[in-house]
Structure 1
Amino acid sequence: MKISTLSSTVGLLAGLAKLVAADCSLSNDGNYYCATTNAIIYSNVGVSATYNDVTLMDETTCACSSQQVSFSGSLAPLDEELSVHFRGPVNLKQFAVYYPANGASLKKRDNVAEEECAEIVTKRKHRHKRDIAVEYVEVTATMYVDADGQTVTTGTGEQQPTTTQLVNDINVAEQTPTTTQQNTVATEQTPIQQTTPTTTTLSNNNYPPATTTAQQQETTTANTIATTATAPSSSNTNGGSVAVGSWERTSYFTPGSTSNCTFMNNQGGTAGSGTWSACFGNSISYAASNGVDGAGSAIALDDVTLKSGQEFMIFSGATCNGNECGYYREGIPAYHGFGGNQKIFVFEFEMPSDTNGNGYNQDMPAIWLLNAKIPRTLQYGKSECSCWETGCGEMDLFEILSNGSNKLISHVHDAQGGGTQDYFQRPIGNTLKAAVIFNGNDKSIHIVEIDGDVGATLDQATVQSWLSKSGSAAALP
């Protein structure tokens, strides 16, 4: 939300007036929704700023140290390596990542009308259990409503859950790790040791995924591609050449088969991969084929539907060697994410209803992207132990905000922040196929519904047709 010399209350009332004029409505869940859309277009994505990059997770003192790093450029920091996250109820039917091949390049968009977004404050429930602001034209700070109903303005946009939100009076130090102990941390810890911040400049890491692991190659089907560590090759496994201006699929998943995708969750220390400690709880680990349990090696996800609150994530098939991935928690299976400011993600998924139980995030599925550094240190727990709170990057692609809703909202959370209250229809009883196009040439990110099959390559005409789809506009400051 743009913060001006006017009071926050005046700004809120003005925002509400805009919503009324725009025929948006307040739902019973406390969120505002506008219209159904088949495309969301983020423009002016990318900012020059800093975040705190974790440099040490000390198991002796239970403290995390960090240093300040700077970033800038088109789509920054979302041009850094990203991991892809899923929360149930969800059934993933297809996932693919494409990179330019043979000179392919996304063109700048022409004459795309950017709708003015209303300024409103809503209460949102999420995996971070946050109450935050949505719908921005310019964002220099974020307003949210705290647990006592008080309006609070911050400069970071959102807050991770505290220890007591994750663990209800549980002394983790007295427990041994189990598969039900996911995302737990100790309730009382030694204060974080503050170090004098230094500044490091990050270069844009256009890191295409690397060759699949041996475990993954065993499950690779004939129509998937194993790529090199430098760039997509000029031919595919079907024997045909990749046309000039086309996009090559570098990662691919269908149930039971995967190429250059590594499935993980937060079950470290329970089943042969990752680690657990009283200080930091469960780390990331390989995910079993059911997506819920841990595993000792990389395994393809089966055709499974995760229940409410259950989560898994996807990294590339390239392991982190040396200092390639920066600092990460000791003892984890560390993999590269998907980097670069020109890339395309394709999803096909179903989000069925889940009315059983009343657990955290009940019947609130979501698909989102995180800076891959976050899960490699600590996705849930102490805020000082990941770069998330200081704005290293999150993008919610498809998120249900309240129990049982059928409206999928998108939002960006970093030093900019922004989104739209237009929504995709939740796929219940059917699947939704969508492409997420990162276009560094004009600083835009497109989320669009698509039809038809996608193969080992995408021709430029297909990609440009996706880019030309009109929909809800979200201009970042």
Structure 2
Amino acid sequence: MKVLNLVTASAFLLLARNVLADLCAKGKQELGGNWFCQPVQAIQYSNVGSSGSYHQITDMNSQTGSCQYQLKQYSGPLAPLNEEVSLHFRGPIQIKQIAAYTPASAKSVKKVRDTNVHQRAHQHVHSRLHAQENARSQDKRQEVTATIDGQVVHWVNDYFGPSASSCIPPAMVTATVDGQVQTWVNNWFGGGAAPTCTPSEAPAPAPAPPAAHTPAPQPAAQNQAPAPGNEAPLPTTALMSASAPAAAANTGTGQGQQYDRIAYYDSVSQTVDNLAFLGNFGGQGSGVFTDTFGASLAYANSAGTAGASSPQKLADTTIPSGSEIAVMLGEACNGDDCGYFQPGSVAYHGFDGADKVFLFEFMMPMDPSSHGKYESDMPAIWMLNAQIPRTTQYGPSTCSCWVTGCGEFDIAESLLQGSTYLKSTLHANESGGDSDYIERPTSETMKLAVVFSSNSSTIHIQVLPADTNFSTTLAASEINEMCQATPDDQVSYFTIT
């Protein structure tokens, strides 16, 4: 049939795009034992996640320095980073904004809200590529008649295929067409009558954003339900992924999926919503320090340089070279709901789930005056399996799950003193690091997205336009627009093997 031929042709084009790799063929150089190839605007890791096990710490003896563990099995797309992760920042860095999102269908997060209300403008996220998409799709609209769950339905199918840099794949449709069971990608962008089967709701398109770096709006209520949108819905009764295993089906990250912001920070307005600023400052007002394990997590002071006795807001400041902070959800561990953590440590939940999106705004100014000191002028943003900082990040390796592969993802890290090249690397039982790099923002802020997608088993790092706003909700289509805005010659593709 015509529609099936169209899908086959589009799938071939997608396959052709996916053969793209890193850009090292254009040139590379070795610096300090690391290879650096080309500057890019986006890096996409594919085939992320595996089955395996690691040593999950179950007891820490501060008298002897010994620890006990149990074998923790993991599997699935993005595993083990589909577990709770913590965010980490090393100076010199100015953190202007942080936002974290999870699918609206995910388990609701208990939120600790900022009680100091600041002026907040009502804003929404970006978006612009609709005109181009509509023009491109005019000649590819097909009338589809199918039997889904025993019902005959009709709709117009607009298919022009996801690009290789698409963060969140559109939903798959399985239907009986002319007596044969067929499965294809369904992108619904309107035109023709809406489907007659049960629709999934999609959020309304966002209006154009205002000027850059105004604090993003705060949600009116903690568990506010998303309002029904006016986009045409997806006719999806059976959802599945072409790349993920069967167990990962029905993850709800199709084209109509909405992502809700579960945590937010803005340095200028001093808005903090459901985030905790911590550091390895145990014994300085909170947490503990032992000779065997060193400093546990503690509350960080407002400068991000030492401990504090209670939760503090990170100031609008530059965290200096060599200083590190950890950012967790503003939900303290209660009983064993975080699993085991070092006794006496300040322990908070991390960001859970295989599908999650992080938006950052930051600057990494040069700091030549610090050269010669340990980790000076080497800023970094990375994430860890949250069990690592809750036990020990820099203590004995036998007391951390890191060495056995529970997971670390370096998002943007300077590996050399004074370097302007920011590398990314995945550390797990199946590891890898892309040799292309993002240029360090030394004099102006950069906005960056990190998108975890279970349907495609990908992690996508994307430099964003300066006028991107960190709104309270994101549609999957908006997230994909972020990732598809960069030409292929500015995207580095890396497959974990």
SS at match of 2:402: coil
SS at match of 2:115: helix
Aligned to 1:390: 404
Aligned to 1:25: 28
Aligned to 2:103: 100
CA distance change for structure 1 residues 332 and 426 in 2, over 3 Å: closer, same or farther? same
Structure 2 unmatched runs, 5+: 1-20, 121-216, 231-255
Give me the whole-angstrom Cα distance separating, in 2, the residues matched to 1:209 and 1:307.
32
Aligned to 1:277: 290
Aligned to 2:42: 39
SS at match of 1:389: helix
Give me the whole-angstrom Cα distance separating, in 2, the residues matched to 1:76 and 1:298.
31
Aligned to 1:312: 325
What's the offset of the Cα at 1:210? 2.0
What's the offset of the Cα at 1:319? 1.3
What's the offset of the Cα at 1:458? 1.6
Aligned to 2:447: 433
CA distance change for structure 1 residues 225 and 275 in 2, over 3 Å: closer, same or farther? farther
1:342-391 Cα distance to aligned partner (Å, 9 max, x none) = 11000010000011132111111000000000000000020011100100
Q: For 2:474, which of 438, 441, 458 is the aligned residue?
A: 458
What's the offset of the Cα at 1:227? 7.5
Q: Does the 8 Å CA contact 2:102/2:356 hold for their aligned counterparts?
A: yes
1:309-344 Cα distance to aligned partner (Å, 9 max, x none) = 100010001111121111001112211000101110
Q: Does the 8 Å CA contact 1:212/1:226 hold for their aligned counterparts?
A: no
Give me the whole-angstrom Cα distance separating, in 1, the residues matched to 2:229 and 2:313.
27
What's the offset of the Cα at 1:464? 1.5
Q: Is residue 327 from structure 1 mapped to residue 340 from structure 2 by the alignment?
A: yes
What's the offset of the Cα at 1:449? 0.9
What's the offset of the Cα at 1:278? 1.7
Give me the whole-angstrom Cα distance separating, in 1, the residues matched to 2:364 and 2:117.
26
Q: For 1:294, which of 303, 307, 316 is the aligned residue?
A: 307
What's the offset of the Cα at 1:457? 1.5
**What is the letter of the counterpart of residue 86 of structure 2?**
S
**What is the letter of the counterpart of residue 379 of structure 1?**
Q
Q: Is residue 474 from structure 1 mapped to residue 374 from structure 2 by the alignment?
A: no
Q: For 2:111, which of 186, 190, 211 is the aligned residue?
A: 211
Give me the whole-angstrom Cα distance separating, in 2, the residues matched to 1:251 and 1:384.
32
Aligned to 1:59: 62
Give me the whole-angstrom Cα distance separating, in 2, the residues matched to 1:227 and 1:296.
29
Q: Percent identity?
A: 40
Q: TM-score, normalised by structure 2?
A: 0.66
SS at match of 2:398: helix
Give me the whole-angstrom Cα distance separating, in 1, the residues matched to 2:309 and 2:41.
40
Give me the whole-angstrom Cα distance separating, in 2, the residues matched to 1:19 and 1:397.
16
1:6-61 Cα distance to aligned partner (Å, 9 max, x none) = xxxxxxxxxxxx99981332244332111111111111111001100111111222
**What is the letter of the counterpart of residue 267 of structure 1?**
F
What's the offset of the Cα at 1:225? 3.8
SS at match of 1:356: helix
**Rg: which structure is higher?**
2
**What is the letter of the counterpart of residue 322 of structure 2?**
G
What's the offset of the Cα at 1:242? 7.8
Q: Does the 8 Å CA contact 1:209/1:336 hold for their aligned counterparts?
A: no
Structure 2 matches for 1:18-417, cutoff 5 A? 22-101=25-104, 209-212=109-112, 216-218=114-116, 222=120, 223-225=217-219, 233-235=224-226, 245-255=257-267, 256-271=270-285, 273-357=286-370, 358-417=372-431
Q: Does the 8 Å CA contact 1:220/1:258 hold for their aligned counterparts?
A: no
Give me the whole-angstrom Cα distance separating, in 1, the residues matched to 2:220 and 2:429.
35
Q: Does the 8 Å CA contact 1:210/1:226 hold for their aligned counterparts?
A: no
Aligned residues: 347
Higher mean C-alpha displacement, 463-472 vs 358-367: 463-472
**What is the letter of the counterpart of residue 33 of structure 1?**
F
Q: Does the 8 Å CA contact 2:450/2:462 hold for their aligned counterparts?
A: yes
What's the offset of the Cα at 1:467? 3.4
Q: Does the 8 Å CA contact 2:44/2:461 hold for their aligned counterparts?
A: yes
Give me the whole-angstrom Cα distance separating, in 1, the residues matched to 2:32 and 2:220.
45
Q: Is residue 423 from structure 1 mapped to residue 437 from structure 2 by the alignment?
A: yes
Q: Does the 8 Å CA contact 1:208/1:338 hold for their aligned counterparts?
A: no
Q: Does the 8 Å CA contact 2:360/2:449 hold for their aligned counterparts?
A: yes
SS at match of 1:374: helix
Q: Does the 8 Å CA contact 2:23/2:436 hold for their aligned counterparts?
A: no
Give me the whole-angstrom Cα distance separating, in 2, the residues matched to 1:242 and 1:63.
55
SS at match of 1:462: helix
Q: Does the 8 Å CA contact 2:24/2:38 hold for their aligned counterparts?
A: no
1:115-136 Cα distance to aligned partner (Å, 9 max, x none) = xxxxxxxxxxxxxxxxxxxxxx
CA distance change for structure 1 residues 391 and 20 in 2, over 3 Å: closer, same or farther? closer
1:223-258 Cα distance to aligned partner (Å, 9 max, x none) = 224886xxx5315xxxx7788633211100011221
SS at match of 1:218: coil
Give me the whole-angstrom Cα distance separating, in 2, the residues matched to 1:20 and 1:376.
38
CA distance change for structure 1 residues 268 and 394 in 2, over 3 Å: closer, same or farther? same
Give me the whole-angstrom Cα distance separating, in 1, the residues matched to 2:323 and 2:394.
14
How big is the alpha-carbon RMSD for the aligned residues of Structure 1 and Structure 2?
2.2
Give me the whole-angstrom Cα distance separating, in 1, the residues matched to 2:24 and 2:51.
34
Aligned to 1:176: none
SS at match of 2:26: coil
What's the offset of the Cα at 1:275? 0.8
Q: Does the 8 Å CA contact 2:22/2:492 hold for their aligned counterparts?
A: no
Q: Does the 8 Å CA contact 1:242/1:248 hold for their aligned counterparts?
A: no
Q: Does the 8 Å CA contact 2:23/2:38 hold for their aligned counterparts?
A: no
**What is the letter of the counterpart of residue 54 of structure 2?**
Y
1:159-196 Cα distance to aligned partner (Å, 9 max, x none) = xxxxxxxxxxxxxxxxxxxxxxxxxxxxxxxxxxxxxx
Give me the whole-angstrom Cα distance separating, in 2, the residues matched to 1:56 and 1:220.
43
